[in-house]
Structure 1
Amino acid sequence: MKNKKNKFKENILKKEKQIGIWSCLTNNTVAEIISVTGFDWSVIDMEHSPNDIQEVLTQLQVMEGYNTEPVVRVPWNEPVTVKRILDMGAQTILYPFVQNKDEAKAAVEATRYPPKGVRGVMSAARMNRYGHVENYYTVAEQEICVLIQCETKEAIKNIPDIAKVEGIDGIFIGPSDLSSSIGKIGQFEDKEVQDLIYEGLELCKKSGKPAGILTGKKDYAKKYIKDGYTFVAVNSDTNLFARGAENLLKEFK
């Protein structure tokens, strides 16, 4: 049996537009609906949602038969959780709050077997189809996609150095924490925040790395795609449900 191809990684490296969604509702049915709908990718969020290891596993299993790439955002840049997530079969990892090249290097090393990294070796698990994938340990990294989030002004400035780290496949600009880092928390449309978002995009372009971003505003999402962001999450399941329910109720009260 051959290792599973990571079409999302293949597509972003070719700078092909990938439309995604953020999933925080910790629910298998939601994961299935997202996949059936046909999003290119969906973040299973462990940083700002109650997803635990078992819940991530079942969402990965639900999404298996579809073309939507599950992107697992781990809670922090540390190897223990990453090791478990990879062994469960995830191929794309999103690391929050990466500030510099050393932290980016650590993120990559957590996904690589020695001598390239520190990933522990499990003989038979979901990642190698319980021992059926040929030469898994030598081919695994070809399909593993490492994405890092730049979420502060400092991190944005460090993109050229971060991008030089071998194994970094894409750079995600985090608008919420970015606004917070400059004392403008929640002021997403503020000019200084938007300038940093576009500075990050331009630095990614110059470095040859695909750039990603999340926004719940359709006009901004379309503009980001037009201006060169490669992988864009255009909303979250939580926001879709909350605002959808709110707007529906307004029609009747």
Structure 2
Amino acid sequence: MNMNQIKLKLKKGEPVIGTFVRMNSISMEILGRTGFDFAIIDVEHGVHTMADVSNMIRAAKSVGISPIVRVPGTNPVNAMRALDAGADGVQIPQLTNLEQIKEIAKATRYYPMGERGMCNYVAATGYSTIPFDEHMKTSNEEVLVTIHVENAWAAEHIEEILEIPGIDVVFCGPNDMSESLGVPGQMTHPKVVTLLDKVFHVCGEKGVATGIFVKRPELMPHWIEKGVQYLTCSTDVGIYADYAKMTADEMKRQLAENWKK
């Protein structure tokens, strides 16, 4: 595995920008060519098969954007398969206890750091063209493991969570957090703000990078001020829908003003 530029920037305290991908390989290529640092292949809410994920990872690497896979749940096998397919990292949602996080941390790295399954005939090893001992060493160093803190339990136990080795980024989900606190959709509710501030404070003290999702770029400053480095905005379908709507509206306006009846 080559040096993970996203992980390197985060370690230096630098910010990185990305978005979620619900479409396909073409979407990955466009995002890479337009300046995003990373793209998160969304297998949790998307409809991607592992074949789709594999193709999207290849497309991402062809244009220099870092492919991250948000797996569909906490089963460690999902994380191992994404990494074998060549992903630079994984994001793990729906975490509700420490044992889940420990299992994921072990599944994403090889011995002595973890218990990731060993197979030399996968994309991550160049289908056996990369010496496996070299692959194990670089993977243990370069894989980016991001856990979601998107419920009250995770936020309240953030100190214990960060005692588990192998966590690189804590990705906060204000929307899901609001639901877990009984105030669904109220992302600025005091209950939500208090818990998120706790997470940012503890992660800052421990030197662990934090991440967030925003719907629009103009919402970023609030989180930048809190030190969030791993910044995601919208999704490929959201960006497409917004620009498509803007384009269609402008075309209709031009027609209304210029069409000769």
In the superposition, the TM-score normalised over structure 2's length comes to 0.89
SS in 2 for 1:112: coil
> Aligned pair in 2 of structure 1 residues 17, 138: CA closer, same or farther (>3 Å)?
closer
Taking the aligned partners of 1:86 and 1:208, their CA distance within structure 2 comes to: 25
1:115-150 deviation digits (Å, cap 9, x = unpaired): 543322112221011222232134321111111001
Which residue is 2:258 aligned to?
none
What corresponds to 1:230 in structure 2?
229
- Taking only aligned residues, the RMSD between alpha carbons, in angstroms, comes to 1.8
2:156–2:195 Cα contact (<8 Å) kept: no
Q: Which has the higher contact order (CA 8 A, sep 6+)?
A: 1
* Secondary structure of the structure 2 residue equivalent to 1:179: helix
Measure how far apart 1:29 and its partner are. Answer: 0.9
Q: Which has the higher mean CA deviation after the structures are superposed, 28-37 or 181-190? A: 181-190
Q: 2:3 aligns with which of 5, 13, 26?
A: 5
Summarize the alignment of residues 8-23 of structure 1 with structure 2, pairs less than 5 Å apart: 8-23=6-21
Task: Look up the match of 2:256.
Answer: none
Unmatched tracts of structure 2, length 5 or more: 254-261
> Aligned partner of 1:99: which letter?
T
Change (3 A) 1:193 1:244: farther
Q: Any conservation in 2 of the 1:99–1:150 contact (CA below 8 Å)? A: no
* Aligned residue type for 2:42: D
Q: How does 1:8-157 map to 2 (within 5 A)?
A: 8-25=6-23, 27-114=24-111, 116-134=113-131, 135-157=134-156
> 1:187 Cα deviation (Å)?
2.3
1:114 offset after TM fit, Å?
4.3
* Cα distance between partner residues in 1 of 2:185 and 2:51: 32
Bigger radius of gyration: 2
Q: Which amino acid aligns with 2:136?
A: Y
Q: Which residue number in structure 1 is paired with residue 210 of structure 2?
A: 211
For 1:197 and 1:235, the matched residues in 2 are separated by 20
Q: How far off its partner does 1:23 sit?
A: 1.2
- State the percentage of identical aligned residues: 29
Letter in 2 for 1:89: G
The two structures have a TM-score, normalised by structure 1, of 0.91
Secondary structure (helix, strand or coil) at the match of 2:62 reads coil
One-letter amino acid of the structure 2 residue matched with residue 157 of structure 1: E
| Range with bigger deviation, 225-234 or 132-141 | 132-141
